[in-house]
Amino acid sequence: MGEHKRRLKGALAKLKQDAEQPQVVDTLGGRMHVRWDEGAAATPHGQLVFFAEFLAATGVFDRWVSSCPLEYRSGNAPAKRDVLGTLMLGLLAGHRRYAHITALRGDAVAAQALGMNKVVSEDALRRALERIDEASSTAWMRPALMHSVRQALDKPWVLDIDATIKPLYGRQEGAQLGYNPAKPARPSHVLHTFWVGNLRLVLDVQVSSGKQHTSVHAKAALARLLDELGDGADSRRPALVRGDSGYGNEGILLELESRNQPYLLRLRQTANVQRLVAQQFARTDWSLADNQGCQMAEDWLQLHGWSKKRRVVIVRQRLRGGIARERRVDGKQLQLDLAGPTVLGGERLWEYAVMVTDVKYPLESIGQLYRDRADCVDLGFCQNGFDELKNQWGLSGFTTQDINRCQTTARSCALIYNWWSWYCRTANPSARMEAITSRPLLLAAVGTVANHAGQTTLYLTPLHGKANMLKALITNIRQALQHVKSTAEQFKGIDRWAVLLGYVSDKIAPAIGPFKPPEGLSATG
């Protein structure tokens, strides 16, 4: 047995030695000579240096690291900067699992740009986050998220609330069966996300068990958030709170009404709501159809459990095509009937939604606000911003057995997302870019480091087809940072991040423009 192991070890060593030798590769484009160069100082994220300058000039990364409650007693433990820098690199790269961190371990150039000693291992990252208890994590992350956005809330804005399902596949804390339309039998977490609708930025993320889908479990977080935004002359309260059908209950309504906070919330299609809709369809005073084919009517309604009547707005839209009915023939064979006389029966089909609100805007304005929230298509909630966070960032990833680490990484993801969003807006204030567009344009580039005469030079090779445009975008970023630096030099002790947000917000405002029907509201960006 010992001899077998020695032979196997020797064979593996020989294979490794052979693999490291220069190789001749016959490609479709001809023969190429290949050599491994593992010692080269190179990175696939060469443009990270500009984002690192952005973080350094504004001070937000150092502020986040210094306020982190992570503590070690061992002298061999990784530094806080290495831990948080590794997490940020993983999120910027679009990773969703701790195991994906391994792909970053050899990137010494990125680590150097962030002032790190090294990229830590996936296990080191897990263990580090485990050392931060729930109370300490909340006290650390929630102020950081608020700081990343607050200065830009001096103009009228809309607070959107959304509940996102995060399916789970192990024995995680809080993994319970709940409302999960995509995977009904799969345990899950629920992520209640509080969103600056105008700017597509995140104020907070609340992670709860799969059974806690309803707004009851987000009510305290919403109330705390509104209180933190203040009251009076320095208030940064939203002009409107919007939410889907999970939030239209008495508890949420009373919390908002007690703070004189305007709201527009969708109602669940309960029996009483359906009864109201049936009564309304006989009316003859429906509004004229808008450019989306939507009609609206209003009434007053007091549902079971409500303390009073409230204004409700019914939105309806006729379904004209793309309709099919599924049925079984003789109870066995599945058949799909496409829209036609046999399906429609000569009758109209309608899709409808009912919203409760306390604002005095006209019906046309209510409909516009409703569509703004959803980026509405056929009255379906497609919420591009939420989808980007969930699918292009790690908001629904980095799962651990304990829910506290899931909460910490979700908020960290939201924070890095906010920083990167501001970075992209600084580059191009007139347009917003999702990660699938901005990462290849503003992050990816082959970067090679050379050291000579005490000077470090990073050679960048952009592979993007719009290399000339990205250079102009980088120029915009560096001009903004020069403004921040010069202002900080003039006014000692000033919050450099606040200076940047003021600078970029002034440039964004004309691009977003005012929302016309309801006075004082801004349209979604």
210-223 residue pLDDT tens? 565 556 668 888 99
Structure tokens at 373: 């929230």
Q: What is the pTM of this model?
A: 0.86
Tell me the mean pLDDT in the region 279-284: 83
Q: What is the pLDDT of residues 241-267, one digit of tens each?
A: 998 877 888 989 999 999 999 999 999
State the pLDDT at residue 212: 52
DSSP-derived secondary structure letter, 40? S
The strands making up 310-319's β-sheet, listed across from edge to edge, are: 201-209, 188-196, 158-167, 240-243, 263-266, 349-357, 310-319, 294-301
Query: Which residues have C-beta within 8 Å of that of residue 324, sequence separation ≥ 6?
Result: 336, 337, 338, 339, 343
* More confident of the two residues 35 and 518: 35
Nearest-angstrom CA–CA distance, 224 and 143: 12
Look at residue 378 in the predicted model and tell me its pLDDT. 32
Identify any residues that bridge with 207 across adjacent strands, giving them in sequence order.
Answer: 191
427 contacts 473 by C-beta, under 8 angstroms: yes
The contacts of residue 302 (CB under 8 Å, 6+ apart) are 308, 309, 310
Condensed to tens digits (0 to 9), the pLDDT of residues 491-509 reads: 989 999 999 999 998 888 6
DSSP letter for each residue of 183-220:
STTS-EEEEEEEEETTTTEEEEEEEEETT--SGGGTHH
Whole-angstrom Cα distance, residue 131 to residue 229?
A: 30
Judged by average pLDDT, the poorest of 59-68, 219-228, 394-403 is 394-403
Confidence of residue 523 (pLDDT cuts 50, 70, 90): very low
Confidence of residue 32 (pLDDT cuts 50, 70, 90): very high
pLDDT at 381 over 50: no
What are the residue boundaries of the structural domains of the chain, listed by start?
A: 266-365
- pLDDT single digits (tens) 120-173: 999 999 999 999 999 999 999 999 999 999 999 988 899 998 877 655 555 554
Which stretch of DSSP H or E encloses residue 407? helix 403-427
Whether residue 268 contacts residue 245, with contact meaning beta carbons closer than 8 Å, is answered with yes
Residue 1 confidence (pLDDT): 54
> Can you read off the two tokens belonging to residue 151?
């200065």
Distances (CA, A) of 227 to 142, 187, 202: 13, 33, 17
